[in-house]
A and B are shown apart, each in its own frame.
Chain A
Amino acid sequence: MAARDNHGTGAPWGGDFEMIGKSHRKVDGLAKATGEAIYADDIVLPGMLHAKTLRSPHAHARIRSIDTSKALALEGVHAVITGESMPTKYGVIPWTPDENALAVDKVRFIGDEVAAVAAIDEDTAEAALRLIEVDYEVLHAYFDPLEALQRDEPPIHETKKNNNVSKRVELEFGDCAAALEASDVVLDNEYSFHGSTHAAIEPHCAVARFAADGLLTLWSSTQITHYVHRALSHVLDVPPQRIRVIQPCLGGAFGGKSDPFSLEFCVAKLAMETGRPVKMLWTREEVFYAHRGRHPMQMRYKTGASKDGRISAVDANILIDGGSYSSFGLVTTYYSGQLLTGPYDFPNYHFDSTRVFTNKPPCGPKRGHGSVQPRFAFETQFDELAVKLNIDPIEIRRRNFQGTDTKTVNGQRVTSNGFMECLDQVEAASTWKDRRAKLPFGQGLGVAGSMYISGTNYPIYPNPMPQAGIQLKVDRSGVVTIFTGGNDIGQGSNSVVAYLVCEELGVELDHVRVVAADTDLCPVDLGAYSSRVTFMVGNATIDACRKLRSQVVEAIAAEWECDPKRVRLVRGVALDLEDPDRFIGMREAFHIAEAKFDTLGSTGSYNTPTLGGDYRGGTIGASPAYSFTAHVVEANVDEETGRITVPKVWCAHDCGRALNPMLVAGQIEGSVYMGIVEALMEDHKVNRFGLHSGPSLLDYRMATTIDTPDIEAYIVESIDPEGPYGAKEAGEGPLHSSIPALGNAIFDAVGVRLRDLPFTPAKVLAGLREKRETEEKLETGMDAAGVGDN
């Protein structure tokens, strides 16, 4: 069975699903509830050393020399390493390797890693860091992306041809300028999105062991085991068969554990040098500097439309502040334009996105990678258009709906699309028609919509092999063990594969074990990013199950001397559909199958079909399926203080078939929380020296149980033709439109249009003042003209 085969959207045996579509416990829930689950920092190995990192105090400097001799002489210190020991550059995107495990020649942001120490304990390692002498030549540092774009001396990366430009993408579909010219209305505004970070509650941690036989084992809090494996091999110059990477239980990621990180190389190198296991746990402050969070963007959007609100063209110009390294920046730059082309039809579209380096913590992928910012700008402008044309904001969105089974202007194939139902849901649930624009001053409702990918066709490093693989092993005890390279980062992917196996093979959930994210034991999977896991790993799982199932069914049918069509595996038994008295337990069924076919097991895989526009970069943003979301946010704005509160958010998300609606609801709620909170409270910024403004969970300000709005999650199931049983993604899409919906609600509440994030009280007050002044001017103007006396 080929990897690209579809397995159908219905229940595997026809009729109703047994497991799918209902809420079940997670396979690792109780282990997490009882404290039994092992996370990276819970690992303790005999003789283990503790490592610490020396970081740059300068935002941009050349390293003249490093003297580690005093540190090395300190009692209890076992090794000190610097950039010299690992000079090979790497980067998660193979085309842009510009990072070093430890700085070579230069540092590019405050917090850049310079040296690492392994010692008997953290205190000793810390003391040793203070003994390392680094001679820096301080260079001009860039904190403003515009300055970095215009000035080229000194460059942040010497090897770059275009000064400080990290990536530029310009694409045009149709004739945007002509269409804007011909439009009845054109809006032209600037928007800005600030930086925000993932702030997973578990800080990054890695443990390495180097065995006498030359096997290097790394346990790391990573969400992409496979890339860490490749990067370690490349940077340490160790062949991949001598490296094993394991992701233990992971304490949240949201994109923040996608890159290979300095600490992973450092513990590995230190373990190899000392012959002892080495652990490094970053402090919360270090995690803030390691960042890889949401890119700040300055965006100019022009949207043209007809009088009846139909969009004729969208023109976007985006300046992306990348921070100091490339990370996923190439993809971010594409995504900033490529992912805007749904759920609405744009006949003409042009975008020009430029990512520049600055001397700040590097940006990367955060939940809704690269597309949350443009979505904010566009959906805000769309609201402005609705107000200008006096069309209901939900209605204008309906009018521009692109439909199902269609192609976007940039050539992406869209199949299932439940966006209209999402709009219906939030419209009804929020009693929109009765309340929008009718609430008292200071209260408002806002709407926005969005689309997101379910995995990406672009596999980061081009190769013809499957994107996801699964192995199944059947034990004589009746247990089915699933080996998956997929990374469960809390979203529940290990549970999802278990549910699928239960559905397909008729075993009970407690007969399934999941072994995940261990490069020695599991087939390759490309990891937890771009919302790919349910779709891709799910399809691979069904693929593997179908092969195993046909063997079991065939063996039972032979045993019973009946047509295989009569054999069904369900609820822990194999039964004869035509003779209800004939059934055996699955354990026995597996024995019969093993006797007939020898040791039981199977593999399954998934690869994407060939998709994407026929132009350079056309596969970036191409996905086998897209999810759709609509939000209505209710906001209260205090006129006196400018304070914004959000009593309620309604979010409807089209995730295809909800394999476990409880887990889907959890993803929707977590996304809504994250979006609203980053819009209102969070700000990942540095001061004029490049120092983070508040690198702690208190100063960064994240919402508690008290500040989080009431969230109502609605699941819309537009059964996708290619997803596993019709499923799509749920983890990232439901964040996008929460932010513009909030901004639009603020406008409905007080008539102030906020185009710059975060939405702070000061901005509300400034907006109110400006509004008052304009109104006064208008009045005095009218007085002077004698209009008022008429």
Chain B
Amino acid sequence: MRSLRLNVNGDTLDTAAPSHWTLLEVLRYKLGLTGSKQGCDKGDCGACTVLVNGKPVLSCLTLAANAEGKDVQTIEGLMPAHRANGGQGADPIQDAFDRCGALQCGFCQPGMMLSARALLTENKAPTKRDIQDALSGNLCRCTGYTQILQAVETALVDEVGGDAPTPCWASCATNLGPAKGKTEPIQGGGV
């Protein structure tokens, strides 16, 4: 056992855990912050990504003790931080992921969104390739990544302005039936 003093989402928290426990284990099983997910426990999937001093880090490969004295941000901290800065609703990244359909099973997404958060905080004009690179350590098995990339571009527009990307599904429906359903770009925020 080792006592730990961690700074997580702005709070200083005292806890204790076996000395070989990773940051992921301590977050999930000691601090109750279960938003960070474990997909592999060996650095392959990125589901456990958290921000340590603003940089994406695999918490399953980080000893909890090594996170002492650093700022840890988990998915649970994104919305409160956004609100503390005067924002409304969830963080623009979270909101855009929801609006763009990027959250299928959602299991990869806490890590994915934190990687995206780190990118957009640092780089206000990323190219598509920059976004792909920044998310390349986060595996998603559901989406084929298309709507995820779209969500990051959408969040960027929300944060810095500009033209919203055209959703991939906006103009692609061929309706053969007698009663035509309309296909429209997604309605922002209204639902």
Contacts and interface: CB of A to CB of B under 8 A. Distances in A.
Contacts of A491: 104
Nearest to A698: B44
> Taking each of B42, B76, B98, which has the highest tally of chain A beta carbons within 10 Å of its own beta carbon?
B98
B42 A696 contact: yes
A17 interface: yes
Contacts of B74: 35
B181 A21 contact: yes
Contacts of A492: 104
A696 B39 CA distance: 10
A25 B98 contact: yes
B160 interface: no
Contact of B174 (A202, A425, A671): A425
A670 B38 CA distance: 21
A25 B99 contact: yes
Interface string A483-503: 000000111100000000000
A489 B135 contact: no
Q: Chain A contact residues (Cβ within 8 angstroms of B): what range?
A: 35 or more
B47 A201 contact: yes
Contacts of B149: 705
Given A657-B181, A717-B181, A284 B147 contact: no
Interface of B: 18, 28-29, 32-45, 47, 74-76, 78-79, 90, 94-95, 97-101, 103-110, 113, 131-133, 135-149, 167-169, 172-179, 181-187, 191
Given A42-B34, A490-B106, A696 B97 contact: no
A665 B98 contact: no
Contacts of A200: 105, 107, 141
Contact of B143 (A44, A661, A670): A670
Given A251-B37, A704-B137, A705-B135, A32 B109 contact: yes
Given A29-B98, A201-B45, A704-B139, A250 B176 contact: no
B186 A662 contact: yes
A344 interface: no
Contact of A35 (B34, B38, B133, B148): B34
Interface string A245-283: 000011111100000000000000000000000000101
A713 B168 contact: yes
Contacts of B32: 44
Contacts of A24: 186-187, 191
Q: Is the interface of A mostly helix, strand, loop or mixed?
A: loop
B79 to A, nearest CB: 6
B142 A490 contact: yes
Interface stretch (A8-16, A147-155, A380-388): A8-16
A252 B141 contact: yes
A460 interface: no
A33 interface: yes
Interface string A396-435: 0000000000000000000000100100010000000000
Nearest to A652: B174
Given A202-B105, A673-B145, A719 B178 contact: yes
Nearest to A714: B172
A187 interface: no
A564 B20 CA distance: 69
Nearest to B20: A123
A33 B99 CA distance: 11
Contacts of A440: none
B12 to A, nearest CB: 20
Given A706-B136, A715-B183, A696 B105 contact: no
Nearest to A656: B177
Contacts of A711: 144, 146
Contact of A254 (B29, B95, B110, B141): B141
B95 A33 contact: yes
Contact of B98 (A26, A666, A669): A26
Interface in A699-727: 702, 704-706, 708, 711-719, 725-726
Contact of B35 (A9, A35, A674): A35
A421 B98 contact: no
Which 7 pairs across A and B sit closest by C-beta, in order of nearness? A35-B35, A719-B177, A21-B181, A490-B105, A251-B107, A32-B106, A673-B144
B181 A705 contact: no
Contacts of A706: 132-133, 136
A508 B187 CA distance: 14
Given A36-B35, A252-B141, A714 B41 contact: no
Interface in A30-56: 30, 32-39, 41-42, 44
A491 B105 CA distance: 7
B107 A202 contact: yes
Nearest to A421: B174
Nearest to B33: A35
Contacts of A368: none
Interface string A565-598: 0000000000000000000000000000000000
A34 B94 contact: yes
17 contacts: A16-B182, A25-B191, A30-B95, A42-B28, A249-B105, A418-B176, A657-B177, A661-B169, A665-B147, A696-B44, A697-B40, A697-B45, A698-B42, A698-B43, A704-B139, A705-B132, A717-B181
Given A33-B95, A669-B147, A201 B101 contact: no
A419 to B, nearest CB: 11
Given A201-B105, A657-B181, 6 more contacts: A25-B191, A29-B103, A34-B79, A35-B34, A665-B147, A717-B174
A752 interface: no
A199 B47 CA distance: 13
A715 B182 CA distance: 12
B37 A39 contact: yes
Given A33-B103, A33-B113, A717-B173, A697 B182 contact: no
A160 interface: no
A123 B18 contact: yes
Nearest to A663: B101
Interface string A283-314: 11000000000000000000000000000000
